[in-house]
Structure 1
Amino acid sequence: MQKLKINQDIRSLSEVRNGMTNFIKQVHDTKRPVIIIQHGKGVAVLLAVNEFEAMQEKIELLSDIQTSLNQLGKGEGISHKDAKEKVLKRVLK
């Protein structure tokens, strides 16, 4: 996802409602989300599907990493040697 450009990517709900097709094209072309505001407050984000899926994958990976770090912190990890052996056994089957 590209970095947000405040003057182009924050739009009122009425603007988006009246020009939805244009904003969908903008999101697709720029790879940037559009932040939708109502009464001066953010209420929604318009985001391309592929960008949303990429975000989901990153969140899942980061969640897995955090789970692993928590397990290691509790002493539930295994040594590099043991992990390598387990992986090689699965790969070589």
Structure 2
Amino acid sequence: MKPLQVSEDILPIAEFKTRASEVVRQLREHRRPVIITQGGKPAAVLLAPEDFDQLASRARFLTAIDEGLADAEAGRVLSDEELDEALTEQLGKRKA
């Protein structure tokens, strides 16, 4: 996702309504988010589907890291041997 260009990427909702098809086409071409305003205040952000997927993936990754760090701080960890035993129990014996 490219950085926002204030002069082009912030639109009042009325203008978005009249130019919706064009705005979506430009969104896909330029890969920049579009801010939709209502009453002069930001009301929505329009993103290309690929950009949304990337942001959602990053958010899930960061959440997983935070959960892992919290588990480590709380002592909820396994030794290598304990992990091997748990995986063997769940998945069966590995073939060497």
TM class, shorter-length: 0.7 to 0.9
Which residue number corresponds to residue 20 of structure 1?
20
Map 1:38-77; keep pairs closer than 5 Å: 38-77=38-77
Seq. identity, %: 31
How far the C-alpha of 1:73 sits from its partner, in A, is 1.1
How far the C-alpha of 1:78 sits from its partner, in A, is 3.5
SS in 2 for 1:44: strand
Q: How many angstroms apart in 1 are the aligned matches of 2:34 and 2:10?
A: 6
Cα RMSD of the aligned pairs, angstroms, is 2.0
1:14-56, CA deviations, whole angstroms, 9 ceiling, x for partnerless residues?
Answer: 1110000111011101111100001111111111111111111
Structure of greater Rg? 2
Q: TM-score, normalised by structure 2?
A: 0.80
1:64-93, CA deviations, whole angstroms, 9 ceiling, x for partnerless residues?
Answer: 1111111111111235xx18x74xx77x55
Structure 1 alignment gaps of length 5 or more? none
Q: How many angstroms apart in 1 are the aligned matches of 2:23 and 2:77?
A: 47
Structure 2 alignment gaps of length 5 or more? none
Q: Which amino acid aligns with 2:77?
A: G
Aligned residue-pair number: 88
Q: How many angstroms apart in 1 are the aligned matches of 2:41 and 2:78?
A: 48
Q: TM-score, normalised by structure 1?
A: 0.82
Q: How many angstroms apart in 1 are the aligned matches of 2:69 and 2:48?
A: 32
